Structure 1
Amino acid sequence: MRRRAPKHRVVVVGAGIGGIAAALRLAAAGCSVLVLEASDAPGGKLRQVRAGGRMFDAGPTVLTMKWVFDDLLKDCGTCLDDELALEKADLLARHYWRDGACLDLHADPGRNVEAIRAFAGDREAEGFQRFAADSRRVFDLLKTTFIDATRPNPVSLSWRIGMTKPGALFALKPFSTLWSVLGDYFSDPRLKQLFARYATYCGSSPYLAPATLMLVAHVEQTGVWIPKDGMHALARRLVDLAAGLGVEIRYAARVETIVTAAGGTRVAGVSLSGGETVPAEQVVFNGDVAALAQLLGRPERPRRGGNPAQRSQSALVVCAPARPQGVPLAHHTVFFSDAYEAEFDAVFERRAPPDDPTVYVCAQDRTGGGVAGPAAATAERIYCLMNLPADGDRHDYSESELDRCLTAMDRRLAANGLVLRRNRQAQVLSAPDLFDRLYPATGGALYGRASHGWMASFNRPGARAALQGLYLAGGSVHPGPGVPMAALSGKIAADCLLADLASTGRFRPAATAGGMRTRPATADSSR
């Protein structure tokens, strides 16, 4: 009986969302996939911490673009709704300003128009309608030409959109900042603050980020989901599905070096901190690209953490049991600073904690409706975040400095109507120095490069690295940061790898029908 050849093996470094997505795609195509993860759990930035005896999501808390995961899971014959208990939020987010002025954004666009009309008047409601239409147009223009595509350059993007459609290209407003363009729609500074905040979703300043980021408004309008068991459950479920396809995942397996061959021109495998070498002709690296120089034995280029001036922001994240008093919280609630521009000046220019930070609060026990939750006398799981500079490789945050940041956060919450009685003995703090240790060579930057300037999106690396056989995934590469974007980066990396293998004739990806593999890997897959 003829012995069946082994499948083509690929090593994935990192079990973040990008790495898991790549592993799923590759395994469904017939590859043998080994995922090496340095920590003891999957998810990367979708991490959990234990505070007061309860588990908290301590990373991203917003799930959008569900279609990304539905498309990915077609290869497994399933969809996200069948794998994860999800609630679609009716109330997208609640927003507070000084003295408790409040505006809710809803999943229903009509309700948003009326809410803004009641909050700021007819002119602002009309401006919101124009803004919503334009943000949708930007998203529609970029969805297939940029977001869900291999990294273009400005010329190729223009061709994809259509050189004969100058109006469409003009609609992207690439040479204007988000903050300046918002003045075309809103005169109320509070509304400019609210919609400018979308720049922070990629770790950037709205005063420097391009206006194309207005597309985030449409992304949220099309759906925000709350996983019943938390965001970390998404990573866990994707890992389970990958294991069902035969993916091997090893935890506590820290990769120290990407091994090269042929005079340093192509990948030969990876070496682990314990001394083991794992051979592989293809490696998907799901980590921040700032770490690549050290992994490739080139620590001098670029220097550790890259250029600090190009880093996205970091954060102070506080997870603690707490009893909120005052204004009611939604699952997602934002408390805006009185000094918005000074906040970003502190983070990106002075490289210092802002004196008056905007504070994001995630009440993790509350539902999509926003007001249901534990009784007032019961401590609930509260996550708070303020923006900080990505200086964790150069600066250790002392207990006194963290206390000053917590005081600034509490002062802002109180000014906007919330008193948060936090259990300080049980709280868990994550600051830029911890994030730098968790995500090496980043300085704690949580989003790769900042999206500042019209070329920012084109400056992110694509899936194919210069080193033959090395592919890149994660929030620091195209198409950018965020949970669904990281998943797309993994899918794109896997597709590039499979296309390159197919072009050599050494491997033929398994065909699929209804998401299920219809033929086994052939003898051609042995190399």
Structure 2
Amino acid sequence: MKSVVIIGAGMGGLAAAARLSARGIGVTLVESRDEVGGKAARVVVDGVEIDAGPTVFTMRDVFDSIFEDAGARLEDFVSVKKAEVLARHAWSGEEQGADALDLYADPKRSIDAIGDFAGLEAARGYARFQAETARMYEILNEPMMRGDNVSSPLPLLWRIGLTKFGDFAAMRPHKSMWKALGEFFPDPRLQQLFGRYSTYCGSSPFAAPATLMLIAHVEAMGVWLIEGGINALAIALRRLAEVKGADFRMGQRVTEILLDDAGDACGVRLDNGEVIRADSVICNADPNAIATGYFGQSASRAVKPLPVSKRSLSALVWYAHAETGGFDLTHHNVFFSSDYAREFDEIASGRPPSEPTAYVCALDRSADLKAATAPHGRARNSRERLQIIVNAPANGDAHGDRLSYDPKENDRCTHQMLRTLKRCGLTLEDEMPHALATPATWERLFPATGGALYGRASHGSAASFLRQGPRTRIRRLYCAGGATHPSAGVPMAALSGLLAAKKVEQDHASMRTYHRAATPGGISTRSATTEPTPSR
């Protein structure tokens, strides 16, 4: 039986572990932390658990296929419900709710809501936008997002079909997202709303290509709410992989990727000195960690280092347990700044925005999921769990051993965030219990990134072709995770793990010294991949 060592229990590593173990390949996954999930972890504030990472779950079919591939069902492991409201968006208004807009799972409701919000022409523009982004998704879904040979536009054109060059041009790779949005939305608020989707992959709408408008369609296809948050999905993937035989080594750090005499990856060395030999290694870490020698100098040639100027956005993230007032929150909420261009100009100059756009995930605001209960049976108070995100520059490693933000800067950023919320109608209690993660926090958790949470920024028409793919320059060493192809985000990170797993399978098949042959007669036996999986 062939064997694989996977470094890191983020979504990419977990997806690869589930697929490979379901196919009878021996999997050992090594994770430096005590819990799985990578960025999809949890923190405890004021005695309650709060999601620490991504909160938006889309492209459910990616995960359905992972579980089905292992003879199981996603709903056997987690409780998942489709959200009726995709997100609630707010701008400053003269009175509460004057500038608030919901987008819905039902596209007609969204069109009607936009018409009520900004007029008939805006509703017509959104209908055209829906059709255009659906076309983009249809063109790119299989060849780009679920394919791996995308190091230049030529393989993509080949997969799309040379006769469909018009389809490729329709994705407007040479036009900025912000300018393209102006063709659909003369109302600057709507331009701002749909421009924000570029930040899902850590990019500015003023520098990202219009192709990223397809992210809006991905969300319009459905946002799903998971009981227990995205971390519960990570735990489910671990359980699935373990049922299929994967071994998880938690709380152990890989210090070196080992190479054999031929220069091929052959295992890893742990911080306690233990060596784990394997036929292949999948690294679910930012590729720049490999390039900068974090896993040993001999492996650093596997990938190219990422210039600081090419980093994606980082973030300031508040984990709060607070009383709220005024604005009626739903699960996903966005409170916009009054000057979007200035916001991204300040980030590009290395400063946190003085008037930021703030995303608020109100974890307990969902009629579709069970309300969270306090630990130890304590009665719940009027506080609720919030995760609040503000975009920031990826400069968490620019200050040596000092924190990228000192306490005064932390307080200033908190004040600026609260001011945005208040301007849009939402108030939080004074002295709210909270923890704050800065770019320096992300750099400590994910070394060699500077706190960039999405890998390479998707700026310019060629950016999508420059992300690290599953294969590296070292044979049998593969990359996965949100910093690799196809992109950042929960489903994309999982797809990266599936792509890496497929490459492992292909390369293992090519190493066979014989071919299996069917035996005439005899008794057929059930495949190990179809054994029933017990429900939780």
Fold equivalence (TM over 0.5): yes
Cα drift, residue 151 of structure 1: 3.3
Report the CA distance shift for 1:127/1:468 in structure 2 as closer, same or farther (over 3 A): same
How far does the alpha carbon of each residue in 1:141-162 deviate from its partner, in whole angstroms, 9 at most, with x for none? 0111110111322001001111
Distance 2:59 2:260 in 1: 39
Distance 1:301 1:28, change over 3 A: closer
SS in 1 for 2:44: strand
* Aligned partner (choices 10, 16, 20) of residue 22 of structure 1: 16
1:285 corresponds in structure 2 to: 283
Which residue pairs with 2:162 in the alignment? 163
Equivalent position amino acid for 2:213 in 1: M
Match of 1:522 in 2: none
Contact in 1 for aligned 2:330/2:362 (Cα 8 Å):
yes
Residue correspondence of structure 1 range 177-192 to structure 2 within 5 A: 177-192=176-191
Offset of residue 422 of structure 1? 5.6
How far apart, in 2, do the equivalents of 1:194 and 1:369 lie? 25
Return the offset for 1:433.
0.5
2:97 is equivalent to residue 97 of structure 1: no
The 1:422/1:26 distance shift into structure 2, 3 A limit, reads farther
Secondary structure at 1:259's aligned position in 2? strand
User: Contact between 1:283 and 1:469, CA under 8 Å: does it hold in 2?
Assistant: yes
Inter-partner Cα distance in structure 2 for 1:324 and 1:28: 46
8 Å Cα contact 1:66-1:80 kept in structure 2: no
Structure 1 residue 199 displacement after superposition: 0.2
CA distance in 2, matches of 1:446, 1:510: 47
Q: Cα offset for 1:324?
A: 1.0
2:409 matches 1:401: yes
Q: CA RMSD for the aligned pairs?
A: 2.5
1:262 and 2:261 correspond: yes
Structure 1 residues 515, 68: closer, same or farther in 2, change over 3 A? farther
**Residue aligning to 1:410:** 418
Paired residues of 2:290 and 2:303 also in contact (CA < 8 A): no
Contact kept, 8 Å, 2:41 with 2:51, in 1: the verdict is yes
Does 1:385 find its partner at 2:384?
A: no
Partner amino acid for 1:98? S
How many residue pairs align between the two structures? 509
3-state SS of 2:436 partner: strand
Residue 437 of structure 1, aligned match among 419, 444, 447 = 444
> Does residue 503 of the first structure (1) align with residue 510 of the second (2)?
yes
Shift of 1:185: 0.4
Provide the rounded CA distance (Å) in 2 between the counterparts of 1:300 and 1:473. 16
Which consecutive residues of structure 2, in runs of 5 or more, have no partner in the other structure? 374-378, 519-524, 532-536
TM-score between the two structures when normalised by the length of structure 2 = 0.91
Report the Cα distance in structure 1 between the residues aligned to 2:16 and 2:526, rounded to whole angstroms.
19
1:69-148 correspondence runs (5 A): 69-99=63-93, 100=97, 101-148=99-146
**Using the alignment, how far apart are the partners of 1:83 and 1:455 within structure 2?**
39
Cα 1:51–1:304, aligned 2, differ >3 Å: closer, same or farther? farther
What percentage of aligned pairs have identical amino acids? 46
Query: How far apart, CA to CA, are the structure 1 residues paired with 2:530 and 2:308?
Result: 49
Give the direction of change, closer, same or farther, for the CA distance of 1:299–1:25 in structure 2 (3 Å limit). closer
The separation in 1 between residues aligned to 2:495 and 2:526, in whole angstroms, is 20
Give secondary structure in 2 for the equivalent of 1:517. helix
Deviation at 1:172, TM superposition (A): 1.1
Among 465, 474, 479, which residue is 1:467 paired with?
Answer: 474
Change (3 A) 1:48 1:509: farther
Q: For 1:177-256, what aligned pairs fall within 5 Å after superposition? A: 177-256=176-255
Partner of 1:482: 489
What's the TM-score, normalizing by structure 1? 0.92
- How far apart in 2 are the matches of 1:407 and 1:304? 39
Residues 509, 12 of structure 1: alpha-carbon distance in 2 compared, 3 angstrom cutoff? farther
Given the alignment of the two structures, is residue 428 of structure 1 paired with residue 440 of structure 2, yes or no? no
Give runs of aligned pairs for residues 272-421 of structure 1, distance below 5 A: 272-293=270-291, 294=293, 295-297=295-297, 306-348=306-348, 350-367=349-366, 378-395=382-399, 396=403, 397-421=405-429
CA contact under 8 A between 2:10 and 2:481: conserved in structure 1? yes
Are the structure 2 counterparts of residues 380 and 186 from structure 1 closer, same or farther at C-alpha, using a change threshold of 3 Å? same
Q: Using the alignment, how far apart are the partners of 1:508 and 1:174 within structure 2?
A: 45
Q: Distance in 1 between matches of 2:426 and 2:275?
A: 54
- With 274-283 and 315-324 compared, the bigger mean Cα shift is at 274-283
1:449 equivalent in alignment to 2:448: no
SS in 1 for 2:229: coil
Which deviates more, 476-485 or 271-280? 271-280
**How far is the alpha carbon of 1:339 from its aligned partner?**
1.2
Residue 524 of structure 1 is matched in structure 2 by: none
> What's the CA shift for 1:166?
2.2
Counterpart contact for 2:149–2:155, Cα < 8 Å: no
Partners of 1:332 and 1:254 in 2: CA distance: 35
Alpha-carbon distance, 1:82 to partner: 2.8
Structure 1 position 516, deviation (Å): 5.5
What is the alpha-carbon distance in structure 2 between the residues aligned to residue 332 and residue 436 of structure 1? 26
1:375-408 Cα offsets, whole Å, 9 max, x none, are 9970000111101111111132211111100000
How big is the shift at 1:507?
A: 8.4
Q: Which residue of 2 aligns with 1:4?
A: none
Secondary structure in 1 matching 2:395? coil
Report the AA paired with residue 148 of structure 1: R
Aligned match of 1:49: 43
> What amino acid is the match of 2:23?
A
> Retained in 2: the 8 A contact 1:501–1:507?
no
CA distance in 1, matches of 2:467, 2:304: 18
